[in-house]
Amino acid sequence: MAKQIQAIRGMKDILPQQTPLWQFLEDRVRSVLSRYGYAEIRMPIVEMTELFKRSIGEVTDIVEKEMYTFADRNGDSLTLRPEGTAGCVRAGLENGLIFNQTQRLWYQGPMFRHERPQKGRYRQFHQIGVETFGLTGPDIDLELILITARIWRELGLKDLELQLNTLGTSEERRHYRDHLVDYLRQRFDELDEDSRRRLESNPLRILDSKNPQLAAVIKDAPSLMEHLEEQSLRHFDRLRQGLDEAGVDYTINPRLVRGLDYYSRTVFEWVTDSLGAQGTVCAGGRYDGLVEQLGGRPTPAVGFAMGLERLVAMLESRDLQEQLATPDVYLVMMGDRASREGVLLAERLRNGLPWLRLIGHCGGGTFKNQLKKADRSRADFALILGEDEVARKEIGLKPLRGKGEQQQVALAQLEARLEEVIIRG
């Protein structure tokens, strides 16, 4: 036999038993976003490499080490998107969606980063991202966080903590950066190799280091908050006030700096302890400078993206997967006439009960065999249609999970009866 070819490391298949959970997640998120008036945009997966260099930043882990970059046949340098914000701004500018307008957009799809794969960290992963343009105030920052909080509520996810910080404007950050570099120079001996390299290029990222050796240096570092001017402080205070009024708990984390360079003012992450090391399930913030950086007029913008693999992992820990994957009803059809009538009956039920998950038996076979299949499908009920039932205009309703005896139900009353036993139990 020929040697089988394996999937690429860090890139996973999502198998049929897992897709119900993915669809549940995607449907809920989509429904919340549409209720808030967000519209979907679909961008290409491949962009010019320059786009990511200019937006995410040359001296970030993503651009330095993690991008899937290649030359296409024309010699252009292309990159599989490592995230969606840059492409969304590019698409917005190119299609005239941003100038002088407000936009509330969302997108969904695979992203690619050549990171070291581990639980919750993949080389191909999926995000649902949201980006808004043209809105300056803390009210839209608040709206985005309220959306995420509502999504967790509707998904039934509880163990999530909101961490919040402000990075100030790029000017405020420049001032702060000078102070920080002075301070870090004084403690140069305590820095690791990565931080020494970053000292000139991207010193703020040193504050985000996970290396325990740096904990003391980071703890004593000057705080950005003390270098913020009135307007940035007011923006942050009003956001906090809004969250307090809406009853959304948060923790201020002054070390939250994010791994992409485009942020200004508000940044936030939703984190959980329940997933091990890769606990950030959603992250975002304001990026008021990016549209201009990519060739547009200055336009305020703010957004976030959630990691679907991590959210699915949180949902998996509940027995939701089984519930979502099981049909309500398996329709057993004995004989030619019942098979023909059965197909039509199944369509009638699907029309009348749009929520019903019904599998119609295909391929004939004995009664025993069909019932075995019904049982294996894990449906709660079998509907049994034989020649006699067709003649009498009724059908057998047989509980498969030990909830009472089989009953005969008049076909005319079947929708009502199913609603009763399935919805009201």
Which residues, numbered 71-100, are part of the site for ligand HAM (CB under 6 A)? 83-85
Q: Does 341 bind ligand HAM (CB under 6 A)?
A: no
**Region binding ligand HAM by CB under 6 A among candidate stretches 40-48, 161-169, 280-288, 383-391:** 280-288
Which residues, numbered 287-316, are part of the site for ligand HAM (CB under 6 A)? 287, 303-305, 307, 309-310
**Count of alpha carbons within 13 angstroms of residue 195, beta-carbon side:** 23
The tokens 């820990």 sit on which residue? 317
Nearest partner of 136 among 288, 242, 290, 240, judged by Cα: 288
User: 121 pairs with which residues across the strands?
Assistant: 118
Helices H / strands E in the chain, number of each: 16, 16
The least CB distance from residue 45 to ligand HAM, in Å, is: 14
The tokens 């049982």 sit on which residue? 375
Q: Which is nearer to ligand HAM, 83 or 380 (CB)?
A: 83
Q: Does 165 bind ligand HAM (CB under 6 A)?
A: no
Which phi and psi angles does 331 have, rounded to 5°? -95, 115
Q: Is residue 176 within 8 Å of residue 252, measured between CB atoms?
A: no
Strands, sheet with 407-410, edge to edge from the N-terminal-most edge strand: 358-360, 329-333, 381-385, 394-399, 407-410
User: 207 pairs with which residues across the strands?
Assistant: none
Q: Which residue is nearest to ligand HAM (CB)?
A: 307
Strands, sheet with 266-271, edge to edge from the N-terminal-most edge strand: 39-40, 103-112, 124-133, 301-307, 280-286, 266-271, 161-166, 251-252
Q: Does 122 bind ligand HAM (CB under 6 A)?
A: yes
Q: Which is nearer to ligand HAM, 85 or 232 (CB)?
A: 85
* CA dist., res. 381 & res. 404, Å (int): 11
When binding is defined by CB under 6 A, the residue of 25, 93, 281, 346 that contacts ligand HAM is 281
- What string marks each residue from 124 to 163 as x (binds ligand HAM by CB under 6 A) or -? -x-x-x-x--------------------------------
* CA dist., res. 291 & res. 249, Å (int): 31
**Region binding ligand HAM by CB under 6 A among candidate stretches 185-193, 232-240, 276-284, 319-327:** 276-284
What is residue 320's three-state secondary structure? helix
User: 302 pairs with which residues across the strands?
Assistant: 132, 286
- What string marks each residue from 374 to 413 as x (binds ligand HAM by CB under 6 A) or -? ----------------------------------------
Q: Which is nearer to ligand HAM, 214 or 311 (CB)?
A: 311
The least CB distance from residue 132 to ligand HAM, in Å, is: 9
Q: Does 55 bind ligand HAM (CB under 6 A)?
A: no
Residues in contact with ligand HAM by the rule CB under 6 A: 83-85, 113, 115, 121-122, 125, 127, 129, 131, 259-260, 280-285, 287, 303-305, 307, 309-310
Binding residues for L-histidine: 83-85, 113, 127, 131, 258, 262-263
